Chains A and B, each alone.
Chain A
């Protein structure tokens, strides 16, 4: 089904601190923008896939969003894979369209952890509270430390990822954090959970984003202005908590990318722009390895020397990513991937034919990959 389903519309809210806005209201705004971008009305939507707000679980949340949108979808619901859910739902929506379960699907996510609660991000892991094993950043720090020990990855190499993403965010008028970062500033920032420093960690943000999917044939019939074909998608998961994971430095990104690249019929070497989930810098480094942009253990050297900055060999997170544009988990990366394939990005990579987008969730528990192309 390579290329038979397209992303026909993209939309998002402002990013940052949005007090007084509920996740449901932010979802509606994002969907409204995505439908306007696609040039279709809401009544065409018969599939609605929602990632529930990470910070506050709400039972049957998909129905809450459908009611707020005033639509009666045939298929949809809420998918829980943490940050991997958005691309995972795009894959499920594409399969639903391909198999006649719906014709026009919306995938949407919104949350308000910056002005609301963020308790879900600060909980204890497993049953190890007695050791002080709390928080998301320390989980990633545990993986980063092992990677450093196994492969000699350095703090400065993680810093190079933060510097690149922050540079892209500084150029993006809609980014939450528009402040360039130098490697010296990175080094001087306080430790959060060693070896991760402040600027290794993504933003906390209120906001929402949505995309509209339909078949390529339907997009042509409707005269959709700028459809972007979905060439491939894939997923991967591990069930093991960090403490139990037999190999801490290889992730479910590997199988997810294999599936997606095989479906798209292309190799990583043909990708010239990527949106790589950057909840923490180490996630980008390991995802680049697991995707095959470089070999395992060589991610540190790969991200050095401006290779992943705009103008480099493989620009990554060209709108700033979670480290700079918005910390909301993942859909903004898809939106930016669509802009790159349309040729309308703020930092447009010239002649980019393919864009790889990654989403991941938990502490590298879940992963989903999307390969976008051009019409």
Chain B
């Protein structure tokens, strides 16, 4: 199977995660905040992983973040990414606390990034779907 034939692995929103993807399509990165304990998290889940409450609300992220770590793929584990090598995947921590998998844009060489580097949200398009990416400040 080559990259032309492989369907791109797009997200499959469910009842819990649909608002997350909907907000991104409107230019907002959101996360969940617990009404009981104040805990904040991503990825979307139906209960607070801190106090198990199901009473929570979506909150907009301010867009400030830092780089926890990143890798640069030199091998494609899915054929849809074969023609993008090398590409990076990063763990990013929002200023509000939640962490997410993302990728870093606006750089020439991902090997020059630094851990804990300041980042800013840069929502991009992937096959017509809005996804949260980040660029170094």
Contacts and interface: CB of A to CB of B under 8 A. Distances in A.
Nearest to A132: B81
B31 interface: no
Contacts of B115: 145-146, 149-150
Interface stretch (A95-103, A120-128, A209-217): A120-128
A131 B78 contact: no
A243 interface: yes
B101 A128 contact: yes
Nearest to A134: B77
Most buried by B among A122, A131, A150, A191: A131
Nearest to A148: B115
B4 interface: no
Counting contact residues on chain B (CB < 8 A from A), the size range is 35 or more
Contacts of B76: 132
B9 A138 contact: no
Counting contact residues on chain A (CB < 8 A from B), the size range is 20 to 34
B25 interface: no
Given A122-B77, A124-B78, A132-B78, A142 B84 contact: no
Interface in B103-137: 103, 110-111, 114-116, 126, 129, 131
Interface of B: 9-12, 17, 43, 68-78, 80-81, 84, 86-87, 89, 91, 99-103, 110-111, 114-116, 126, 129, 131
30 contacts: A122-B78, A127-B17, A127-B43, A128-B89, A129-B9, A130-B10, A130-B129, A131-B101, A131-B103, A131-B131, A132-B81, A132-B84, A133-B89, A137-B75, A138-B71, A142-B70, A142-B91, A143-B69, A146-B115, A150-B115, A190-B74, A191-B72, A192-B75, A193-B71, A193-B72, A193-B74, A195-B71, A242-B91, A248-B69, A248-B91
Interface of A: 122, 124-135, 137-138, 141-143, 145-146, 149-150, 190-195, 242-244, 248
